[in-house]
Chain A
């Protein structure tokens, strides 16, 4: 963890942009534009949330940054290089848990690192990390369970632990809590904040939930409906570390919510 801390100070000093998206457009075969000249940056150690209606090409842009697909026009630079799938400095978390049903919870948590290191047997340090991550997401004692024995929310927590066990400094998160009930969602958001406060990694997080965006982000980017384009951006200068329950009583939080909501309603023409 200390490693990220120092990394971040160096990078902030040089004001380094870890993810740069420049005039990126993309359309799928025979369809209208999915992403239209989208541009934004994410600084090192920054938590940026893109919020927008469904179908605004949010997942497309994340897939491009992750190197799973290539943009048609424009440029994307991730930590000084073009995106490539399987880079060890980028970890990607999906809306679905994507757990391997034949692996126990602990072995699912270890899976990402196992692929990155190419070794089936993790070091003791990694194993201990995995166990402490499991307890941080409230799943201590569940290491030997199989995914099928867990509820939906618990499985997503395992996926969260798997993502954070990888030492990748850049995290891409594609509506990771989108399919969960409100209560579980709050729990996981708090868990994510805790993990982020610990490591201060660069996060690009996508959601359609405005409250979630404000609770988590340093900066919120508002995305228009199809074709997707960044319409505006808002600094969220709420103090950290944040407690999501406390935020609900903070007038500033509601002010921000109101402001962004108006922005978005204009966009969605409701």
Chain B
């Protein structure tokens, strides 16, 4: 067959222009990071200026230099152990949310009757303000690790469950038609079509659950806890140490960003090659 390659769109391949493109990319990145640093510095400057000019009392918002001093002096003896305690609870809650959320999601897809039976209860529980459960968990589990994990899990579990269920349910009907016409067994359809189809959606749920687990743990710590960033913030705001409160907030933000970045890079490594422009997979 005389196969002239006609009207082919090129798949990205390294060409002579590729190096140029990579270089451009690096410059763009550099510019971006420099810009962000500048914004950060600008915000710190404004913060410093409004206190220095006497517009806002230092008592309410502290100053950037005081916060920096606090962070430096208390980093290893106070911040790190508390951060680790918070992180540990977050990760345990996240892992439990992931495992049980995915399993429950799959179960509800596979057993529609169960889904119908439990639907109103799940909706009711899921729309309940979970923070209101914190006192109960503290009563049940005490003020240690388990009560933090319980509150965070009550948030993360439903997120993962919902995204798993939705991911399995929104499968492209043409793939089910393909599966039937090829004669896939139920197991083949599940493992080769429905499950991989749901993976991006499950991942999106997991990423959200990670951040919500962090939120749940910190909230629980703020209500009652022996250790953790949330507990630390309550303590320092009680004694009007705004430099410490601001410093801890910054630590929390850094932790949240780090968690997100790690999750993003794991997702990109696992799914990046086939999901990058998932819109184009639809006809």
Contact = CB atoms under 8 A, between A and B. Distances in A.
Nearest to A97: B283
A194 B1 contact: yes
Give the size range of B's interface with the partner. Answer: 35 or more
A153 interface: yes
Per DSSP, are chain B's interface residues mostly helix, strand or loop, or mixed?
helix
B196 A149 contact: no
B3 A101 contact: no
A68 B271 CA distance: 32
A135 interface: yes
A96 interface: yes
A interface secondary structure, majority: loop
Nearest to A134: B3
Nearest to B4: A138
Interface string B240-283: 00000000000000000000000000000001011111101101
A71 B9 CA distance: 42
Contacts of A100: 175, 192-193, 196
Contacts, number: 92
A115 B274 CA distance: 22
Contact of B174 (A98, A112, A145): A98
A183 interface: yes
A96 to B, nearest CB: 4
A179 B175 CA distance: 18
B283 A112 contact: no
Contacts of A145: 11
B283 A179 contact: yes
Contact of A138 (B5, B178, B188, B196): B5
Contacts of A94: 174, 177-178
A98 B3 contact: no
B6 interface: yes
Give the bracket for the number of chain A residues in contact with chain B: 35 or more
Contact of B277 (A68, A140, A148): A148
Contact of A85 (B1, B4, B183): B183
Interface in B178-199: 178, 180-184, 188, 192-193, 196-197, 199
B8 interface: yes
Nearest to B13: A141
A146 B182 contact: no
Contacts of A138: 3-6, 8
B7 interface: yes
A147 B174 contact: no
B17 interface: no
Given A98-B177, A116-B182, A142 B283 contact: no
B5 A112 contact: no
B8 A148 contact: no
A92 B4 CA distance: 27
A87 interface: yes
Contacts of B9: 150-151, 154
Interface in A147-195: 147-154, 179, 183-184, 187, 194
A74 interface: no
Interface in A117-147: 135-136, 138, 140, 142, 145-147
A88 B271 CA distance: 32
Given A97-B283, A102-B196, A135 B278 contact: no
B209 to A, nearest CB: 22
Contact of B183 (A86, A98, A146, A153): A86
Contact of B7 (A92, A96, A112, A187): A187
A86 B277 contact: no
Interface in B187-225: 188, 192-193, 196-197, 199
Contacts of B180: 68, 85-86
Contacts of A111: 182, 192
22 contacts: A85-B181, A85-B183, A94-B174, A98-B174, A99-B281, A101-B281, A102-B196, A112-B182, A115-B182, A115-B192, A138-B3, A138-B5, A138-B8, A140-B5, A145-B11, A146-B273, A148-B274, A148-B275, A148-B276, A150-B9, A154-B8, A184-B7
Given A85-B183, A103-B274, 15 more contacts: A85-B180, A87-B183, A90-B181, A96-B283, A98-B177, A100-B175, A100-B193, A100-B196, A102-B196, A102-B271, A116-B183, A142-B11, A148-B274, A148-B277, A187-B6
